[in-house]
Structure 1
């Protein structure tokens, strides 16, 4: 009984129009969240980017442990401590520590993957994530860019590199997610486009630098 009033109050607090469209947009944002998208990117590389699928899947799990788990724990702890206004970290200034922690974590992970001679596509993916995160952090100092869209753009681009039909599907999902982020008033259309563009360019440039394109 309280879920509907709570959703209405949340929509109004964001300056969004309450209703089914808002509820649907929130669900889409939760499904296409940066955390599961990061895992999907790793699985795509593990399946399509490594000849030995079993080996690729194991490296995908190991890289996920390095790349995803520490930032997720950090976020949950800080959210429970009241450091963020909401689970979207809507206030731009509150995102800075998340960017910093994430970038440091990615660089440490990249170092470990290099030391362990991980397959090149996994190292390229982590390097691309570090590059995109660093640029997004610099942008965030003055303007809020969509992290959801950046994650979606990265995943869709990686899919397009290794299996075009899946890439087309995920780029379709990117359009849906873009609508959702604007519908909930988390971002403007320009912030969504900026996130998609930055991630796409970052992945392509990094993969070319690694000789994978």
Structure 2
């Protein structure tokens, strides 16, 4: 149980997105891309994390993982709004296409997962891990494909903690990977192998 808790904390969506943005920025345009990724992280990581943190401290949400499905709509909706504002900022400021595409991928993934989670709980952890693995594989290729190994590890952790059932874990991965991958391909920053 301790290992599953640690894995869930290390691979929490906000932390994983912070790492993903930095890597995508570096893959896209080197260190300049990392600087651009910080802008995306403000709207995709910092603001949504603050929204959840304030909600937990005020008793609106049970925990930072938004474990109760019925508590997810408002913070995920606010997160989507923040990501959308970040997208506008990045696009208007002339950010690299890969960073803008990643912002769009995160926005569409949040919207799709939120729509599903209104009626059925899906694993946000595994959705983000699946999305990250897909993005890294499409943009980095080669050794970055090993990032897929994190998917079953995180899936196991979420199952072990009884946070989700197997279907919720699998659907989370499929949604995260398909939506993010499709956005990158449509945006023209990645192509299918």
Does the 8 Å contact 1:40/1:155 carry over to 2? no
- Listed one character per residue, the Cα deviations across residues 86-136 of structure 1 (whole Å, up to 9, x for unaligned) are 232221110111111011111111111111111001111111111111111
> Are positions 1:118 and 2:95 aligned together?
yes
Once residues 33 and 64 of structure 2 are traced to their aligned partners in structure 1, the CA distance between those partners, rounded to angstroms, is: 32
Question: Are the equivalent residues in 2 in contact too, given 1:144–1:191 (CA < 8 A)?
Answer: yes
Deviation at 1:43, TM superposition (A): 1.3
1:36 aligns with 2:37: no
How many corresponding residue pairs? 190
After TM superposition, the score normalised by the length of structure 2 is 0.94
Structure 1 unaligned residues grouped into runs of 5+: 1-21
Aligned-pair distance for 1:164? Answer: 2.8
Query: 2:162, 2:111 → 1: CA distance?
Result: 24
Query: What is the CA-CA distance between 1:208 and the residue it aligns to?
Result: 1.5
TM-score normalized with structure 1 length? 0.86
Quote the RMSD (CA, aligned, Å). 1.2
Rg larger in 1 or in 2?
Answer: 1
Q: Shift of residue 42 of structure 1?
A: 0.8
SS at match of 1:68: helix
Q: Which residue, out of 24, 28, 40, partners 1:45?
A: 24
For residues 70 and 180 of structure 1, the distance between their equivalents in structure 2, rounded to whole angstroms, comes to: 26
Report if the CA contact (8 A) 1:158-1:167 is conserved.
no
The equivalent residue for 2:31 is 54
Tell me whether 1:200 sits opposite 2:177 in the alignment: yes
Note the residue ranges of structure 2 that are not aligned, 5 or more in a row.
Answer: none
Distance in 1 between residues matched to 2:60 and 2:43, nearest whole Å: 24
Aligned counterparts of 1:169 and 1:83: Cα–Cα separation in 2: 38
